[in-house]
Chains A and B, each alone.
Chain A
Amino acid sequence: MSGQPETASHGEGQQHPIGLYFKVWILLFVLSSMSYAVDYFHFHGYLRWTLILVFMFLKAGLIISVFMHFAWEPSTLKLALGLPVIAIIVFIAFMAIEADYTFLSRLTFMSGGT
C-alpha cells in the first residue's frame, strides 16, 4: 500500500467516482429510515437494541470509510486513529459497572429517591 500511489487517489488528495458517493448516500437514507422504523413500529427489548446498534454501526462505517475516505488512508493513520478508540470501549465498561453499583446503592439506601 505504501510506496506506489493508489489508482483512485489524485496527486493532491482523494478522488473517487461520483457514483460511489451516490450509492453510499442512498444507503445512508435507507439505513436512517430503517432505524426510524425501529421506533415507529415499537420494537422492544433486545430486538430493538440490536437493530439500533446494527444500523448505527453500518451508518457510521459508511460515513467514516467512504465519505471521510478512511478506507483509502495509509495504514499508519488507521492504526494511530483506531487504537485510541479501544480506550473508549474500556471506559464504557468501567462506567457501566459503576452505574450498576450506584443504582443498587440507591435502591438499598434511598428507597426510590433519585
Chain B
Amino acid sequence: MASTPAVNTKSSYWQSLVTDWGADREVFKLSWGKLMMWIFLLSDTFIFSVFLIGYMNVRMSATDSWPLTSEVFALHVGGADIPLLLIAIMTFILITSSGTMAMAVNCAYQRNKAATFKLMIATAILGASFVGMQAFEWSKLILDEGVRPWANPMGAAQFGSAFFMITGFHGMHVSIGVIYLTVVAIKVLRGHYDEKGFQIVEITGLYWHFVDLVWVFIFAFFYLW
C-alpha cells in the first residue's frame, strides 16, 4: 500500500471493499479466532458505552452537586493531598502493561517462546497490581469516606452507583484478562502452539489492549470530567 500512489490507493480501497462484501465469497480475510475476538470486543464496547451513557444521564439529571472526583480520589502523601494520584498511577500501570503486551505479540511471531512467556507474565503481574490498587481504592471509598451505591456524604447519590458499576465491571475485565494471559502464557511455554502458530498471543493482546482502551474512556469521563 505504501508504494502505490495516493489517488490509486483510495479508489482501489473502496473498490476492493465493495468487491469483498458483494462477491459470493469470504468477506473477512482473517482467521476466525481473531474475527470472533473483534466481534466480542465490539459487543463489549456497547456494554461499556451503555454504562458510561447511563452515568452521563444520571450526572446530567442530578439536582444535587456531583462530588469533586479530584478531591474524592486524592491521596495524602507527605503532608499534602495530591489529586487523583492513585488513579494516575493505575493509568500508567495499565499503559505499561499494554506496552509489554505489544512486545509479547512481537516476540511470539518471532517464535521466541521464552521472551513471550516473560512479557505476558509481566503484563499479567501489572494487571494484577492494577486490580490490587483498585481494591485499595474501593475499600478506602467504602470504609473511610462512606460511599455507598445508594448514597454518599459528598453530594449526588448517583455517584456511588455509577462508580461501583463502571469501575467494578472494568476491574472484572482486568481480572479475567490476568487469568487469560496467564493461561495462554503457560501454554506458549509448554509448546502448545508450536504447530498451530502464535496468533493466539495477538488475540489475547487484542483483549488486553481493549481493557486499556476502556480505561482511557473511564479515566477521561469519570475521573477527569
B20 at the interface (CB under 8 A from A): yes
Contact indicator A64/B56 (Cβ below 8 Å)? no
Residue-wise interface mask of A (16-52) relative to B, using a CB-CB cutoff of 8 A (1 in contact, 0 not): 1010011011001100100110111000000011001
B32 at the interface (CB under 8 A from A): no
Bound-complex Cα distance A100 to B50 (A): 18
Q: How far is the CA of A76 from the CA of B198 in the complex (A)?
A: 24
**B57:A98 contact, CB within 8 angstroms:** yes
**Does B114 make an interface contact (CB < 8 A)?**
no
B53 touches A12 (CB 8 A): no
Partner of A75, one of B2, B13, B216, B220: B13
Chain B contact surface mostly: helix
Q: Is B209's CB under 8 angstroms from A56's CB?
A: no
- Which residue of A is nearest B110, CB measured? A15
Decide yes or no: A67 and B157 within 8 Å by CB, A52-B224, A75-B17 being known contacts.
Answer: no
Residues from chain B with a CB closer than 8 A to the CB of A59 are: 216
Inter-chain contacts of A69 with B (CB < 8 A)? 202
| Least Cβ–Cβ distance between B201 and chain A, in angstroms | 9
User: Is there an interface contact between B35 and A63, defined as CB atoms closer than 8 Å?
Assistant: no
Q: Does B129 contact A (CB under 8 A)?
A: no
Interface of A is mostly: helix
Contact B225 A52 (CB under 8 A): yes
Beta-carbon contact of B13 and A52 below 8 Å: no
Closest CB in chain B relative to A80 CB, distance in Å: 7
What residues of chain B have their CB less than 8 Å away from a CB belonging to chain A? 1-2, 9, 12-13, 16-17, 19-21, 27-30, 34-35, 38, 42, 45-46, 49-50, 53-54, 56-64, 70, 83-84, 88, 91-92, 95, 98-99, 101-103, 105-106, 109, 156-158, 197-199, 202, 205-206, 209-210, 212-213, 216-217, 219-221, 223-225
Nearest first, the 10 A-B pairs at minimum CB distance are A99-B60, A102-B61, A56-B220, A25-B99, A2-B16, A99-B61, A12-B197, A75-B17, A99-B57, A21-B102
Known contacts A2-B20, A99-B59; 13 additional CB pairs below 8 A are A1-B13, A10-B109, A13-B198, A25-B99, A29-B92, A35-B219, A35-B220, A68-B213, A77-B28, A85-B45, A99-B57, A103-B60, A114-B157
